[in-house]
Structure 1
């Protein structure tokens, strides 16, 4: 497993690219529309994993196509060990609500789940530096997801013993 990086990049007014790199593997989910909250959805998916969840799903509108990102923990191999996979599928029509199996797989890589959640947090932190006082990103059209960001930050904090 290699280094993990994530970036949210401006593609145009109301459009964003989401880049995910793990070692030598890289995918750019390009031209994602503001009709889906890509920043918030990726943060919430990372939060689900950082909090110990077995999986998370995020869907991104490309008008009309869809990218679907699946984050999955699975037990594999002999002896059994937990693996974490990031898969991205492309489907022809966002609003058709097609089953995941109908998508064409574009990316499938395993990595450390904490490294992925940390990379998402870092990418969101960079965006937060661009936001205005109300959390707006002028070019994006949606507010910054402060609650999800704070929850991810808390989930990534070291475990602390309970008082009392």
Structure 2
């Protein structure tokens, strides 16, 4: 049986990836994404989506073999979508992914394209690059671990309050991702 990545060869080499996350007031955060020498800042997204938790779950899914992951960062009515999709195998047989950040504008209508998976959005990318899947998961782990050290549970719950629920820090997801990354990915 053929695997998805068997059909995707000669992927571009992965670039360095870094995230920077900040909770700056109740229900609002910012996220900076740097791929290679290109950077984009989502200046404000609200707690109508679980931004950091969604990023953790995306990192975990990619670390455990998912081929497509999308996240929404919502500023009502503005919306950004971050997509991770397969790009093939590197020369070292590492899974490589195309990372795309798209500006969804204010297309929040039910019939708009923004309710589709991010990789199907028609908007032109505001940031795009190639990373290994391990580099993506490790960059997520790094920014989330830094946020964990920076914000206590009480501060995180008070400042974030995902959809009014006073959601706690996504610690379970972070620990699951750390466990997944501790196992080397099989490569032939």
Same fold (TM over 0.5): yes
Q: Distance in 2 between matches of 1:38 and 1:119?
A: 15
Residue 10 of structure 2 corresponds to none
CA RMSD of aligned residues (A): 2.6
Distance 2:123 2:24 in 1: 24
From 163, 171, 184, the counterpart of 1:146? 171
Structure 1 spans left out of the alignment, 5+ residues: none
Once the two structures are TM-superposed, the CA of residue 24 in structure 1 deviates from its matched residue by: 0.4
Relative to its length, the structure with more strand (as a share) is: 1
Preserved CA contact (<8 Å) 1:131 1:137 = no
- Give deviations 1:87-123, integer Å, cap 9, x for gaps: 0111123642532433332111111221111111111
Give the 3-state SS of the residue equivalent to 2:179 in structure 1: helix
Asked if 1:44 is matched to 2:57, the reply is yes
Counterpart of 1:16 in structure 2 is: 29
SS in 2 for 1:70: strand
Q: In the alignment, which of 109, 113, 119 is matched to residue 133 of structure 2? A: 113
Aligned to 2:116: none
After TM superposition, the score normalised by the length of structure 1 is: 0.83
**C-alpha separation between the residues in 1 aligned to 2:87 and 2:17?**
19
- Structure-to-structure mapping, 1:45-124, within 5 angstroms: 45-75=58-88, 83-93=96-106, 95-97=108-110, 98-99=112-113, 100-124=120-144
Give 1:152 shift: 1.0
CA positional deviation for 1:82: 5.2
Instruction: Give the TM-score of the pair, scaled to structure 2.
Output: 0.73
Correspondence for 1:156: 181
Query: What's the CA shift for 1:132?
Result: 3.1
Offset of residue 134 of structure 1: 5.9
More helix per residue = 2
Aligned equivalents of 1:87, 1:158: Cα separation in 2: 27
| Residue ranges of structure 2 left out of the alignment (5+ in a row) | 1-13, 114-119, 162-166
Q: Which consecutive aligned stretches of 4+ in structure 1 deviate over 4 angstroms post-superposition? A: none
Tell me how many residue pairs correspond in the alignment: 158
